Structure 1
Amino acid sequence: MAIRYNNLVTQSLAKQIAEQIRGAILDGRLRVDERLPTEEELAAQFEVSRPTIREALKRLAAQNLVRSKRGPAGGTFITRPTESELRTTLANSTTLMVTLGEFDIESITEARREMEGACLKLAIERRTEQHLEQLEQELSYQQQSISDEEFCASDVRFHRLIVDATANPVMQFNMVTVIEALQPLMNMIANRTRSRDRIIDHHKQLLEALRQRDLVAAQQSLDLLLNYLSEHYRQAQQLSAGTAAG
Structure 2
Amino acid sequence: MSKVSTQKNAQQSLGAMVYEQILAVIMDGTYELNTKLPSEAQLCKEFNVSRPILREALARLREDEVITSRRGSGSYVIKKPDSAVLQFSPISSIADIQRCFEFRSNLEAEAAALAAERRTDKQLAAIVSAYENMNDANASNKLATDEDFAFHLAITDAANNHFYRNVLELLEKSIKGGINITRNLSLLHPESRLQLVQEEHQIIVLAITEGDSAAARSAMKNHLNNARIRMFEGAPRERE
| Between 154-163 and 164-173, the greater mean CA deviation after superposition | 164-173
1:163 to 156, 170, 173: 156
CA distance in 1, matches of 2:183, 2:211: 30
Q: C-alpha displacement at 1:142, in angstroms?
A: 2.1
Distance 1:99 1:157, change over 3 A: farther
2:202 equivalent to 1:209: no
Residue among 100, 108, 121 paired with 1:108: 100
Instruction: Return the structure number with greater relative CO, CA threshold 8 A, min gap 6.
Output: 2
1:146 maps to amino acid: S
Q: Which has the larger radius of gyration?
A: 1
Q: Among the aligned pairs, what percent are the same residue? A: 20
In structure 2, how many angstroms separate the alpha carbons of the residues matched to 1:146 and 1:226? 24
Q: Corresponding residue for 1:135? A: 127
Distance 1:190 1:224, change over 3 A: same
Instruction: After superposition, give the CA deviation of every residue in 1:131-180 in whole Å (9 maximum; x if it has no partner).
Output: 2112222222222233433x2211111110001112222232122244x2
Q: Relative to 1, partners in 2 of residues 1:187 and 1:170: Cα closer, same or farther, differing over 3 Å?
A: closer
Is 1:225–2:223 an aligned residue pair?
yes
Query: Residue 189 of structure 1 contacts residue 236 of structure 1 at CA under 8 Å; is this kept in 2?
Result: no
CA distance in 1, matches of 2:133, 2:98: 30
Separation of aligned partners in 1, 2:184 and 2:97? 16
- In the aligned structure 2, how far is the partner of 1:134 from the partner of 1:170? 19
Change (3 A) 1:113 1:164: same
Distance 1:226 1:141, change over 3 A: same
CA distance 1:141–1:172, shift in 2 (3 Å): closer
Cα RMSD between the aligned structures?
2.7
Counterpart Cα distance in 2 of 1:189 and 1:134: 25
For 2:212 and 2:103, locate their aligned partners in 1 and report how far apart those are by CA, in whole Å.
22
Q: Measure, in 2, the Cα distance between the counterparts of 1:142 and 1:101.
A: 26
In 1, Cα distance between equivalents of 2:98 and 2:154: 24
Contact 1:190–1:232 under 8 Å retained in 2: yes
Q: Which amino acid aligns with 2:210?
A: Q
Residue segments in structure 2 that go unaligned for 5+ positions in a row? 1-89, 187-192
Q: Distance in 1 between matches of 2:226 and 2:94?
A: 23
Structure 1 regions of 5+ residues with no counterpart?
1-97
Contact 1:120 1:218 in 2 (8 A): yes
Say which SS state the counterpart of residue 148 (structure 1) adopts: coil
The range that moved more, 224-233 or 204-213, is 224-233
> Residue type of the partner of 1:212?
E
Q: Distance in 1 between matches of 2:232 and 2:97?
A: 8
